[in-house]
Structure 1
Amino acid sequence: MKILFVKKKHSIKILLAIIFVSFNIGAVFAQSKTAEPSSIDEFVESEKEKKIILEKRELWRQTFESKSVDNIMKYYTADILSYDLMAPIQFEGESMWRDNWVNFFNTFEGSIQLTFEDLTVFQSGDLATIRGLTRLQGETATGQNIDMWTRETNVMRKINGEWLIVHDHVSVPMDFVTGKALINLKPIKKK
């Protein structure tokens, strides 16, 4: 009876050791599969999805320049959350976001143009982020000429096969001494 008890105790230790080794081998394997990519541009699971996202961004730009509120809203989810250049500090939901677009487009007399620079896509499964610098050019209804660069990030989610924006963030740096937005900054020239 004593020998059987020792064997069971020994068997439990061996079983625990096997579980421990298996767990550690699995953790090392999982860690090697999820290690950070060597380049930020490699954080895209699918070049096909990246291409679709960039094409969608270009269509969004064209829609923006057409100043069509109805068409621009097709790029967003109903529960959109945005941090935009204008007040308030955040826009929540489709209705509030639509009102923002109406006000924004009414600010400009004539055409408005956008230029994108340094667009970078990150994509994993049904989530993606696209970021870059955006140049806005146009003339306001009061005759003020606008030519400014902003920082922009969009978080997208693939819903029913379509990439839609769930979060939109547009900003400019500020001067903490004066409290004023720095709208005359330009992208840093790459070497």
Structure 2
Amino acid sequence: MNTKHATAEQQQQIRSVLDDWAQASQAKDVERIISHYADDIVAFDAVGPLRFVGRDAYKAHWDFCMTVCPGPSLFELHQPTILVSGELAVSYALLHCGGTNEQGQMESSWMRVTQCLQQFGGQWRIVHEHFSAPFDMESGKASFDLQP
């Protein structure tokens, strides 16, 4: 994990939040996932509407996503970079995510994720999250076969 302009304590705190968020996502523990978001989270997910506003709306989306992918899942941050300035931090990384299909085979792709965090009462919370997948401009289809 690359970190810039962050104290060792800030690095550890933010790393812990992001690691637990990723582990909770892989474990499909929606309550634990949501615990890392601020109440007024604004999220731009790769799936669904243009944006989600508020923790309740985003929780409903996470609940929906878990029903679409009922089997074992994959959710791994790849070389996240963290930038910190005061009580604000930004993390960006590639995300390898996927789930098992009806035949029990893992289907996965690489996506991009950016998360903005803010410190509230000593706790880092995600205040903005943006997932995206690159797409081919000619076909209009997502490029899920790209590799880092």
TM-score (norm 1): 0.72
Partner of 2:133: 172
Unaligned runs of 5+ in 2: none
Match of 1:62 among 23, 31, 45: 23
In the superposition, relative to structure 1, how do residues 141 and 80 fare at CA in structure 2: closer, same or farther (>3 Å)? farther
Tell me if the contact between 1:114 and 1:134 (Cα under 8 Å) persists in the aligned partners. Answer: yes
Cα distance in structure 2, aligned partners of 1:80 and 1:118: 24
* Aligned residue type for 2:41: I
Find the counterpart in structure 1 of residue 113 from structure 2.
152
User: Which one has the largest radius of gyration?
Assistant: 1
Matched, 1:138 2:80: no
Partner residue of 1:82? 43
Q: Determine what percentage of the aligned residue pairs are the same residue.
A: 28
Give the distance between the partners of 1:127 and 1:179, measured in 2 at CA: 35
- Corresponding residue number in structure 2 for 1:52: 13
User: Structure 1 residue 92 and structure 2 residue 56: aligned?
Assistant: no
Distance in structure 2 (CA, Å) of the matches to 1:116 and 1:66 = 14
Separation in 1, partners of 2:17, 2:118: 13
Residue-pair matches, total: 147
Q: Distance in 1 between matches of 2:13 and 2:54?
A: 25
Whole-angstrom distance in 2 between the partners of 1:42 and 1:135? 20
1:102 maps to amino acid: D
One-letter amino acid of the structure 2 residue matched with residue 169 of structure 1: H
3-state SS in 1 of match to 2:26: helix
Distance change >3 Å, CA 98–CA 159, structure 1 → 2: same
Measured on the aligned residues, the alpha-carbon RMSD in Å equals: 1.8
Higher helix share: 1
Check the 8 A contact 2:30/2:63 in 1, yes or no: yes
Alignment match, 2:33: 72
The offset of 1:115, in angstroms, is 1.9
